A and B are shown apart, each in its own frame.
Chain A
Amino acid sequence: MKIQVGIGNKKEFEYFLKEGVDEFYAGLSFFPSHLYGGENFKSTEELIDVIKIAKDNGKKFYLVINEVSDTDLNEVFSYLKDLDKKVKLDGFILRDVQVIKEIHKNLHKKYLILSSLALCFNEKALKFYSEIGINRICLPEHIMPSEAEKLIKNKYGVDVEMFVTALEFCLVFNGFCYLKQFNDKCICRDGFRNRVGQIFSLPRFSVEEHFRNLYDFYNMGVNIIKIGRGPDNIYARFVIHEIKYLINLLKISDKDNFVKKASDFHTRYRNKIFQKLKNIKKK
């Protein structure tokens, strides 16, 4: 099982490199990427530095270009071409069809990963994306194993990766979410009061369901686990330990055992993380 991790700065990168992570990806703070809360690189110099070290260590490095508006299009492509001249990029993580097509046309032979933010829920959609240049998809968060079989065992040679949704999960399609417009906060996990005064919360998978799904995806053939860009260095450092624990557990456990142990570890570990983060922030 490979681990791919999203990073936002050099310090985070160095930490994960020591932890033996296989692949890295990063966004750029000056290009929108439809993501709330994750840190992105603020300078090209730092990014180039990191990509060079990754390559020297035999690691793959992908750039996230999830969303490019028409006004930025030329600017983005000239930036990417320039960057690719300086450090040969391995590939990109992309969402919208315009950008996929343009990158496929203009930056040849790059490995293109379809972001989980895209809406790829069936084999024919996968065929569509594969024909415009996609080499790998990240499973969308709102998909169940029974629905994903043809995507995972696809006949188009498209690789598949997955998030550990117990750790990172948006209750709505996060690539198409405008909930932040109301008070500049992620509000999908808030309670809402409905017309008759009852509390309404958005439905979601339980912790056990998340791990059941992870177990099934793994056993169906998904062999790349993806860790999203975290809000800060400290959080990311904790997450890698849980991922490593889960990977070991996947190899040796039956489903029931995996779900029980993973859920138990997750619940206990989460509480510990939040307590530690609180203490660190206080200091």
Chain B
Amino acid sequence: MKKAVVVNDVEKLKKIVKIYDIIGIGSEFCHNISMKLFDEIYKELEKILKNKKIIIYTPILTDLIFDNFVDKLIKILYKFRDVEVMLTDFGLLEYLDHKFPNIKKGISRPLSIDFVRMNLKNINKFLNEWHINSIETNEVDFVEKFKKRDFKLYLRIPLKYVAASRFCPYERKITYSCNYECLSFYDELQIKNCNEKLILFENCYFKKMKITNYKKLDFDMIIETIYE
């Protein structure tokens, strides 16, 4: 089973980049983070990521940034040999499938929540039709039904998705410019009348996954978010 890591802080990334062959960057939840990382690839990251497989996480896009986002993404697609683009937006899927049918594409959270609940025959059909390589999830309960899959199944650890918002928790609004406060920060939010805590990371709310025997599960790759 392959192992990858997702880091959005450039300094942290520099420290761990040698340990992993597969590096994830970007965000499924925030367009600002993804765009910043795309710019930094040219400034600092191009050399250190050169021989790596790169997984690029992409968020929900609005028409206000769609073209700009795609321009930056395409430049990266041309730059690296081995790239997989993880999608949460059917608009971006539509675009990439027409313009870059050979680029590896995956479905990430929260969109994958619907996909893992689909009938396997229908998933295989949809993924073939749209040339999709993988589905990423952290719902391990569904792995059993995907034994005869035609696609790669990735497990994202250690934060289990609970909820997401378009409102930035730091800027307190939906915004296209920010101070990137979330990049080197996470918070724990105590839930009222409950012993559990939410983990606030980027503009998404998670809880810590409790399973540890990931390697015994039938996933093609484990992708770990470095958030602490």
Residues of A that sit less than 8 Å from B by CB: 67, 69-70, 73, 95-98, 101-102, 119-129, 142-144, 146-147, 149-151, 171-173, 176-179, 181-183, 187-188, 190-195, 200, 202-204
Contact = CB atoms under 8 A, between A and B. Distances in A.
Contact of A192 (B64, B166, B174, B198): B198
Contact of B91 (A125, A142, A149): A125
A183 B91 contact: no
Given A119-B111, A202-B167, 11 more contacts: A97-B114, A119-B89, A124-B66, A143-B62, A172-B165, A173-B110, A173-B165, A176-B163, A177-B162, A181-B162, A203-B168
Interface of B: 60-64, 66, 88-95, 110-111, 113-114, 117-120, 122-123, 126, 145, 161-169, 171-174, 187-194, 196, 198, 200, 205
Given A70-B119, A122-B66, A129-B90, A187 B113 contact: no
B99 to A, nearest CB: 11
B190 A192 contact: yes
B191 to A, nearest CB: 5
23 contacts: A69-B117, A70-B122, A123-B66, A123-B91, A124-B90, A124-B91, A124-B94, A125-B90, A142-B165, A142-B167, A146-B64, A147-B64, A149-B63, A150-B63, A172-B163, A172-B165, A173-B166, A178-B161, A182-B191, A182-B194, A191-B192, A192-B190, A200-B200
Given A95-B114, A193-B189, A127 B91 contact: yes
A172 B89 contact: no
A119 B169 contact: no
B35 to A, nearest CB: 15
Main SS at interface, chain A: loop
A16 B144 CA distance: 46
- Most chain A CB neighbours (cut-off 10 Å) among B63, B92, B169: B63
Contacts of A187: 191-192
Contacts of A193: 189-190
Contacts of A143: 62, 166
Contacts of B172: 203
A122 B126 contact: no
A195 B117 contact: no
Nearest to A188: B163
A129 B191 CA distance: 37
A172 B126 contact: no
Nearest to B170: A203
A147 B62 contact: yes
Nearest to B121: A70
Contact of A142 (B66, B118, B119, B174): B174
Nearest to B98: A124
Nearest to A68: B117
Contacts of B167: 142, 171, 202-204
B122 A203 contact: no
A227 B30 CA distance: 29
B164 to A, nearest CB: 6
